[in-house]
A and B are shown apart, each in its own frame.
Chain A
Amino acid sequence: MLQINIYAIYSLWLREMIRFFRLKSRVVGSLAPPFFFLAFLGFGFGSAAMPAIPEEVGYVSFLAPGIIGMTLLFSSTFGGLSMLWDREFGFLREIMVAPVSRLSIVIGRTAGGVTTAVLQGLIILVPGVAMGLKISGPAGLLLSLVFMLLIATTFNSLGLAFASRMKDMSGFSLIMNFMVFPLFLLSGALFPISNFPGWLQTLALFNPLTYGVDGLRGSLVGVSAFPLALDLLILAFSSVAALSLGAYLFEKSDVE
């Protein structure tokens, strides 16, 4: 079962692409929340000095990478969970009855979900720059792309893992509200985690998105709380761990 079917992976990826570019209203809908966070928090706090943010950085440059992280978190988790829709509308059967290894299906779906999430992250970069985000340089931009890929892989796979364990859509909003939202607020996307009380800071250290947001900040703006190598290492680990978990649970799950 460990063989890889390139055609099938491409087919699954292409399907996500077609759907992404076809369902423009859904994309606009999923980009609206991060855009509003960016705009209103940016305008609201832009001129206020916040403790633990270096003054030369400014709040918008601090916030924008965090909002990109938020976009990636929400869209990739949603992408992973979208398997629930395929099950609900029967398309999962069409995928599962094909002579394609389960691993190829996971890789294809993940590739599609990650690509669409990164595209959305890049789209949010545009209003960020317009509002005053200063990108350190092309190398930093390229490095931030790596971080985006790793963040999206981690959470897309987690979404897939959850979807494999759920029988219907009822758990969807539970996960969005009680897992995704706290992960976002606990990641230091909106303010430095050093502003948290000690126990909450400790909790934040177990959140992969903390390192994702920090890595995006380090690569895009040049300011980070942890060494970038550490961010990269932890995210690479969380990607592999989550992908393995997602693939394992998907393999175990029933279609019926």
Chain B
Amino acid sequence: MDAPAIAASGLTMRFNGFLAVDNVDLEIERGELFGLLGPNGAGKSTIIKMLTTMLRPSAGSAAVWGYDIKKERDAVRSSIGVVFQDPSVDSQLSGRENLDFHGRMYGMDRKTRSDRIAEVLELVDLTDKADVLMEDYSGGMQRRLEIARGLMHHPSVLFLDEPTLGLDAQTRRYIWRYIERMNEDEGVTVVLTTHYMEEADHLCKRVAIIDQGKIVALDSPENLKDLIGADIVTLEVDDSVTDDQVRAVSDVDGVEAADRAGSILTLSVDRSEARIPEIVLSASRAGLLIRSVSMHEPTLEDVFLKFTGKKIREAESAGAGRMAAVQSRMRTRRH
């Protein structure tokens, strides 16, 4: 049997005592479209940097396409394509020249290069922009070229670190289509990081939810959402809501769980469209004033909330604080 595309065990990254990645075990099959989902500062990029040999792990080990990331770095590098989070093109070169540079770095001869350049440009719809300088590309075009470049040398695994960060909704959908297309047409294993719930939901066959350097849940988006099961009904009520009133609401048939945070009641409700009238009735019988009602089907956001106890945006500001702490620590180390 072939080795999995990625097998990591106990992967750990410590920056001066700060745990950025905490003992991560991960196995990704060949041909998968896999997502690492989590807030900024959760450790996703650090995981990618270790798997792509840009950072040496503090502890643990991993193999990419069967090659050890510590001992067989060049073999790993030959097997992977990487689209970094930040731009990494030479803006003074044209799109074609950037791809040509890349192909040569991977030892492709002239004929192979020019055939492949035509192919990958076609894939990301940039054929007519091939000879335009990168500095004249828009942000979305540049991203597409970087994706094409990542694919240029026929990698077995393609890493995409926040591929749609900062792009508008329409460009994001295009990029999604390219990613799906290359996963299907070229059979390349794709590992992407994102902090956009809908991106992970839409694209990935399996998703690992990451928070504070740990994988807290890993499954297909459908299975993850099934963990939440029922729909989410959110009631905005009076601040003075009592426990008895909450019980009156949660005792309604079909209400599986109720959670109160200040004046917000969050209920898990099976077939919520049929239950809401009864919930409202029972609330008013208990003397509870409802200001607004909203409902939605479970999203990965709810899954994230379930496993981490916070919304991804709250986690993000906490994560940003963590990042700032690391950076200031690293700065002090340098001077």
The one of A89, A92, A93, A99 in contact with B91, judged by C-beta atoms closer than 8 angstroms, is A89
- B165: Cβ under 8 A from any A Cβ: no
Number of B interface residues at 8 Å Cβ cutoff, please give it.
31
Q: Is the CB of B92 within 8 A of A19?
A: yes
Q: Please give the distance in Å from A21's CB to the nearest CB on chain B.
A: 11
Q: Is the CB of B74 within 8 A of A99?
A: yes
Once the chains are docked, how many angstroms separate the CA of A97 from the CA of B86?
14
Once the chains are docked, how many angstroms separate the CA of A89 from the CA of B55?
19
Q: Is the CB of A11 within 8 A of B92?
A: no
Which of B104, B105, B108 has most A Cβ within 10 Å? B105
Once the chains are docked, how many angstroms separate the CA of A92 from the CA of B89?
9
A98 and B105 contact, Cβ closer than 8 Å, known pairs A18-B93, A167-B334, A255-B54:
yes
The one of B53, B97, B334 in contact with A18, judged by C-beta atoms closer than 8 angstroms, is B97
- B107: Cβ under 8 A from any A Cβ: yes
Q: Please give the distance in Å from B89's CB to the nearest CB on chain A.
A: 7
A15 and B101 contact, Cβ closer than 8 Å, known pairs A90-B87, A91-B90, A98-B106:
yes
Report B-chain residues with C-beta under 8 Å of the C-beta of A99. 74-75, 77-78, 106-107
Once the chains are docked, how many angstroms separate the CA of A98 from the CA of B105?
6
Interface string of B77-116 (1 = CB under 8 A from A): 1101010101111111100010011101111100000000
A100's closest neighbor in chain B, by CB? B105
Report A-chain residues with C-beta under 8 Å of the C-beta of B100. 11
Once the chains are docked, how many angstroms separate the CA of A167 from the CA of B327?
13
A11 and B105 contact, Cβ closer than 8 Å, known pairs A93-B54, A99-B74, A256-B49:
yes
Once the chains are docked, how many angstroms separate the CA of A8 from the CA of B74?
14
- B164: Cβ under 8 A from any A Cβ: no
Q: Is the CB of A94 within 8 A of B102?
A: yes
Once the chains are docked, how many angstroms separate the CA of A229 from the CA of B276?
96
- A50: Cβ under 8 A from any B Cβ: no
Once the chains are docked, how many angstroms separate the CA of A5 from the CA of B49?
24
Once the chains are docked, how many angstroms separate the CA of A94 from the CA of B55?
14
- B194: Cβ under 8 A from any A Cβ: no
- B52: Cβ under 8 A from any A Cβ: yes
Once the chains are docked, how many angstroms separate the CA of A5 from the CA of B100?
16
Q: Please give the distance in Å from A157's CB to the nearest CB on chain B.
A: 21
Report B-chain residues with C-beta under 8 Å of the C-beta of A5. 105, 107
Once the chains are docked, how many angstroms separate the CA of A93 from the CA of B53?
11
Q: Please give the distance in Å from B107's CB to the nearest CB on chain A.
A: 5
A15 and B90 contact, Cβ closer than 8 Å, known pairs A10-B104, A256-B49:
yes
Q: Is the CB of A15 within 8 A of B93?
A: yes
B89's closest neighbor in chain A, by CB? A91
Once the chains are docked, how many angstroms separate the CA of A15 from the CA of B105?
11
The one of A7, A19, A255 in contact with B105, judged by C-beta atoms closer than 8 angstroms, is A7
6 contacts between A and B (CB under 8 A): A5-B105, A11-B101, A18-B97, A89-B87, A94-B89, A98-B77
Which 10 A-B residue pairings sit nearest by Cβ, starting from the closest?
A: A11-B104, A90-B88, A99-B77, A98-B105, A99-B78, A94-B88, A99-B74, A93-B88, A7-B104, A90-B86
